Structure 1
Amino acid sequence: MPCLQPSSRVAILGAGLMGRLLACQLARQGHRIALYDAQGPEAGGAAARVAAAMLAPLAESAVTEPGVVRMGQYALERWPQLIAGLDQPVFFQQNGTLVLWHRQDAGDAQRLCALFEKNRRINPTLPALQNLSGSALHEIEPATTHRFNQGVYLPGEGQLDNRQLLDALRATLTRLNVEMHWNTPREMGDFAPGTAGQPDWVLDCRGLGARGAWRQLRGVRGEVLRVHAPEVRLLRPTRLVHPRYPLYIAPKEDHLFVIGATEIESDDMSAPSVRSTLELLSAAYTVHSGFAEARIVEISTQCRPTLPDNLPAVRRLSERVIEVNGLYRHGFMISPAMLDVVLELLATGDSQLARRFDVAVHTAPAP
């Protein structure tokens, strides 16, 4: 199969997280990039705009496969490199993850911690979790004083600000002279790569927008709150063991908090329900009473593009067409690895990273 030649013309469909990352890296390599998106520059249709952007491979090991966990570990080293090359600052923190639970949920917490330990035996490079109680817990996270007496600290995990990142990528793409076609939906059939007057390559990063081409895709709905809470001082992403779903609270800069938990097998993009909103807010209040006086900045809904096995995949539909999709709930945690897998495929026609991370690379359309 052909490889990407110097100064190639590349059309990228979808200006969400993967589309912007690929456009940025390929433009830096000297290629001429045209980026197309069905919506505007704020990435309003992208799952990445609503995400909490947590980088938590050990925490996520409870719900995903070892290959995804390895991608998460890779991202913790790769994200600082990617951010350093952008034209605007992006909040990045690597202060670990705290897992808390109320007394009545101790049984669920015990099972979760046993799962963490099992996954560490599978992947010994994961850091050891630290069991905390009493003063040790309050020392590492003072805001938990008088509310929790037990917790688990997962060292080394991180997070970033998703919207700062999307904006910084857009600013960098502008400087790199990438053609950005906003509110311009395109389909794969609109291009004939490699022919006269056409791009040399087409990369499809449209997420759920690619369902016409990748019919196995489904949406998994998430509901997320953004609140401004000046009275709350959480030093790191905090997860609460909950009988119905695990709540997360991700503190960003300037006392902005991203709160989420719900995960529904649905393509429904309507506004969040009153029930789920109340559950999110009440659970957050049990973590810190300062959330009672928080101001709700935004209540958002988005559907994450998901394949049947909940794992990401790459397809080479033809010699000059590559699709990447299925990042599910792990977009920010695995996108640096998926970026480098695609760059390897373009450069050499093969990817050792894909094998390292157990990423499926298909060479023909799925039946």
Structure 2
Amino acid sequence: MSTQARVAILGFGLTGRIAALMLAKRYQISVFEQAEQGAESSAGSVAAAMLAPLAESVICTETLALQGLESMRLWPQILAKLDSPVFFQQQGSLIVAHAQDRGDLVSFKQRLKPLKEHRAETVNGAQIAELEPELGGVFHQGLYLPCEGQLDNQAFYQSSTTTLLKQGVEINYGVHCDEAKKAQLSHSYDWVIDCRGLGAKVKCEGLRGVRGEVARIYAPEVTLTRPVRLMHPRYPIYIAPKPDHQFVIGATEIESQDSTEITVRSTLELLSAAYSVHRGFAEARVLSLLAGLRPAFKDNHPKIDQQGNVISINGLYRHGYLLAPLIVQQALSKELL
């Protein structure tokens, strides 16, 4: 295929950005994004960007979790394409529970699926203190998942935008891409990559939104080196440390189509649970409180579909950052890579 072939990418969220980065040096790329410039509203902009195949195996199939392991290995290649560095780490994750919630920790461990040589390691209080010194004495039981990691989603969004613009990618903001617009673009471009997520819901049977709510805070009195998950019967949370003492705190998922602002109840539960993990969060500053909908199908598996010169990628559910590199690569490899 000629390197001058023209490719339109619909949606400038996580999958749209990865697709553009994979294709930018070989094709003329035009991106069409519904949101206005600077108004990030995709699921990827709200997420904690954790790469947790072992932890996620509790709620997904072994096959999907193994794909997550494979996908994680692609992230360094993607980040190497960027003009500015993006925080990325693979130092594992820590699962903890207060004494009264030991049953939830045991249940979680029992539901973990074996992923080749990767296993959860049971840790006691002394081992927790060795992994995360500031949690020493707070928790006396936990699990360490050494294969897991994370990255900084906000830095990835900023750096990918800057990099793609420098490479000559045309980014069109404020463009509503309905089915008629998609059909029009399919006649004007050699290829159309549909990464609209819930924007494709009208013509995507079974697609639904799964709500995620997160707080991003600045906590100079807290130092954590890896994501920490708190097991709790009512509000299990995760705390993902980012550079400069910023932390993303969120709950796993809420089955809801509501895309409005985060509620007071959710805010109180998230922050009080975080405080129970580390008292230093009491003096933290709240930078943002966000809610977003992640696109998912009934089986919570991503889907790739090709109709003519239109390739659609959708339904990454809560596994967006974990699976996106592999799913996008699979979608593009047959025809474009």
Q: Is the TM-score greater than 0.5? A: yes
For the residue of structure 2 that corresponds to 1:212, the secondary structure is helix
Please tell me whether residue 61 in structure 1 is matched to residue 61 in structure 2.
Answer: no
Partner of 2:201: 211
Kindly provide the amino acid, as one letter, of the partner of residue 150 in structure 2.
Q
Partner of 1:131: 122
Kindly provide the amino acid, as one letter, of the partner of residue 281 in structure 2.
F
Please tell me whether residue 25 in structure 1 is matched to residue 22 in structure 2.
Answer: yes
Residue by residue over 1:166-202, the C-alpha shift from the partner in whole angstroms, topping out at 9 and shown as x without a partner, is: 111111111111111011122232234664xx11111
Q: Distance in 1 between matches of 2:2 and 2:300?
A: 33
CA distance 1:128–1:7, change in 2 (3 Å): same
Deviation at 1:315, TM superposition (A): 1.0
Q: Distance in 2 between matches of 1:246 and 1:343?
A: 36
Q: Distance in 1 between matches of 2:186 and 2:208?
A: 31
Q: Distance in 2 between matches of 1:194 and 1:341?
A: 21
Residue by residue over 1:134-168, the C-alpha shift from the partner in whole angstroms, topping out at 9 and shown as x without a partner, is: 22221111111221111111002100000100111
Partner of 2:164: 173
Q: Which of 142, 154, 157 is 2:148 aligned to?
A: 157
Q: Is the 8 A contact 1:260 1:280 kept in 2?
A: yes
Q: Is the 8 A contact 1:55 1:75 kept in 2?
A: no
Deviation at 1:71, TM superposition (A): 2.2
Q: TM-score, normalised by structure 1?
A: 0.88
Q: Is the 8 A contact 1:43 1:49 kept in 2?
A: no
Superposed counterparts of 1:1-367, under 5 Å:
5-28=2-25, 30-42=26-38, 44-116=40-112, 119-120=113-114, 123-125=115-117, 127-190=118-181, 191-192=183-184, 195=187, 198-261=188-251, 263-316=253-306, 318-347=307-336
Q: Aligned residues, how many? A: 336
Residue by residue over 1:207-265, the C-alpha shift from the partner in whole angstroms, topping out at 9 and shown as x without a partner, is: 01111221321111111001100001111000000102421000000000000005222
Q: Is the 8 A contact 2:303 2:314 kept in 1?
A: yes
Kindly provide the amino acid, as one letter, of the partner of residue 145 in structure 1.
G
Q: Is the 8 A contact 1:39 1:182 kept in 2?
A: yes
Q: Distance in 2 between matches of 1:50 and 1:333?
A: 15
Report which stretch shifted further, 5-14 or 78-87: 5-14
Kindly provide the amino acid, as one letter, of the partner of residue 192 in structure 2.
V
For the residue of structure 2 that corresponds to 1:263, the secondary structure is coil
Kindly provide the amino acid, as one letter, of the partner of residue 166 in structure 1.
Y
For the residue of structure 2 that corresponds to 1:333, the secondary structure is helix
Q: Distance in 2 between matches of 1:194 and 1:219?
A: 26
Kindly provide the amino acid, as one letter, of the partner of residue 23 in structure 2.
L
Q: Distance in 2 between matches of 1:45 and 1:274?
A: 20
Q: Is the 8 A contact 1:141 1:234 kept in 2?
A: yes
Q: Distance in 2 between matches of 1:107 and 1:280?
A: 21
Deviation at 1:205, TM superposition (A): 0.3
For the residue of structure 2 that corresponds to 1:45, the secondary structure is coil
For the residue of structure 1 that corresponds to 2:257, the secondary structure is coil
CA distance 1:112–1:194, change in 2 (3 Å): closer
Q: Distance in 1 between matches of 2:31 and 2:102?
A: 49
Q: Distance in 2 between matches of 1:108 and 1:273?
A: 25
CA distance 1:74–1:251, change in 2 (3 Å): same
Q: Is the 8 A contact 1:193 1:321 kept in 2?
A: no
Deviation at 1:85, TM superposition (A): 1.3
CA distance 1:90–1:222, change in 2 (3 Å): same
For the residue of structure 2 that corresponds to 1:95, the secondary structure is coil
Structure 1, unaligned stretches of length 5 or more? 349-367
Kindly provide the amino acid, as one letter, of the partner of residue 342 in structure 1.
A
For the residue of structure 2 that corresponds to 1:174, the secondary structure is helix
Q: Is the 8 A contact 1:262 1:276 kept in 2?
A: no
Deviation at 1:62, TM superposition (A): 0.5
For the residue of structure 2 that corresponds to 1:131, the secondary structure is strand
Deviation at 1:63, TM superposition (A): 0.9
CA distance 1:162–1:43, change in 2 (3 Å): farther
